[in-house]
Amino acid sequence: MSDTVDLPRVLVVARISWRSAFQGLRTWALGALSAISALVVLALVLDGASASNCENAAQSLFLLLTVRVVVGLVVLIVAVAQFRTDIEQDTLSHLSSRSVTRTEIALGKYLGSVGASLVFLVPAGIAPLLIAGFAGAPAPPTSVTAAILAIVLLATLAYAAFFLFLGLVTRNALLLGLIFLFLWEELVLLLPGDFPKLSLLYYLQSFANGEVTSGPFSGSLTGVSPALDAVAALVVMAFFVALTALLFRNVETAPQRTSA
């Protein structure tokens, strides 16, 4: 199998993958999951909570709910389906039997899953702050908005790479992804010493704390610079994207045999 990568082909595969992520009930479920923070802040606004409370709630919900739960779940569901659903429904044959290379397919599916996830996650990160603004809260500092967008982007890039890899190598990718998100990521954070550094959440939270100096985002957790936090997430992304592309070149794409 060759190493050729042709960007237009990658983008065509990405577009197909992106579109396929918005099919069926899954789209509504992901949309609802992504809207929880915004709905909570909206409820506070309607209940007459003060502007500062609404703003603090928006930022706290981002760190505690969006980053720790919503981002991982949305990316997991979108990215795992890219290979797994295609293999099990036998639609991958339409791509893998053509002249597009396996590396191009893997990169396209990665970009498609990142793009589809961001459609849900960017509003999930920003909408609560905007709604808090209706309560009279001053416009959030640019640093907060930028930090939210950066965290969403970094988390999506890294998680999508890992979950795409899981979707390629195992039929139990969804279960393993959930175990990773809610056991590994959460438990490792609680361990003493350097163990938390084995969690992606560590770097995402550290990035938020390092970038913003007031409100719930402030107060450096780790002392690691935001640049290093970003590099850590990008290294995870690069490693798993490369591993997925490499593996996919040697993987059979037909579903489990039903007949010869």
Partner 1 sequence: MTGIIDAEAATKRYGEVLGLNGFSATFGPGITGLIGPNGAGKSTLFRLLTAQLRLDGGRLDVLGHPAWGEGAFRRRIGYCPEHFALFDWMRGEEFVTALLRVDGFSREEAARRAASAIETVGLTGAKDRRLQVYSRGMRQRIKLAQAIAHDPELLLLDEPLNGVDPVGRATLLRLFQELARSGRHLVVSSHVLYEVERLTDQIVMISNGRALAQGDLHKIRELIDARPHTIELETPDPRGLARRIASWEHVVAIDFPGPGRLSVRSRTPDAFYRALPELVVRENISITALRSPDDNLEAVFRYLTE
Distances in whole angstroms, Cα of residue 95 to Cα of each of 3, 14, 108, 115, 255: 17, 12, 11, 20, 14
- Where b means 16+ CB within 10 Å and e means fewer, 158-169 reads bbbbbbbbbbbb
Nearer to partner 1, 92 or 121 (CB): 92
Nearer to partner 1, 10 or 73 (CB): 10
Asked if 259 touches partner 1 (CB under 8 A), the answer is yes
CB 168 → partner 1: shortest distance, Å? 14
Residue 35 to residue 29: CA distance in whole angstroms: 10
Residue recorded with tokens 């003060």: 50
The residue from 58, 76, 79, 95 that contacts partner 1 (CB under 8 A) is 95
Cβ within 8 Å of residue 18, ≥6 positions away = 111, 112, 113, 115, 116
Asked if 142 touches partner 1 (CB under 8 A), the answer is no
The residue from 53, 143, 170, 253 that contacts partner 1 (CB under 8 A) is 253
Distances in whole angstroms, Cα of residue 32 to Cα of each of 38, 63, 180: 10, 18, 22
Asked if 93 touches partner 1 (CB under 8 A), the answer is yes
CB 196 → partner 1: shortest distance, Å? 41
The residue from 19, 134, 136, 186 that contacts partner 1 (CB under 8 A) is 19
Distances in whole angstroms, Cα of residue 226 to Cα of each of 112, 189, 194, 212, 221: 27, 18, 17, 10, 11
CB 101 → partner 1: shortest distance, Å? 5
CB 48 → partner 1: shortest distance, Å? 44
- Residues binding partner 1 (CB under 8 A): 1-2, 4, 6, 8-9, 12-13, 15-16, 19-20, 23, 89-102, 250, 252-254, 256-257, 259-260
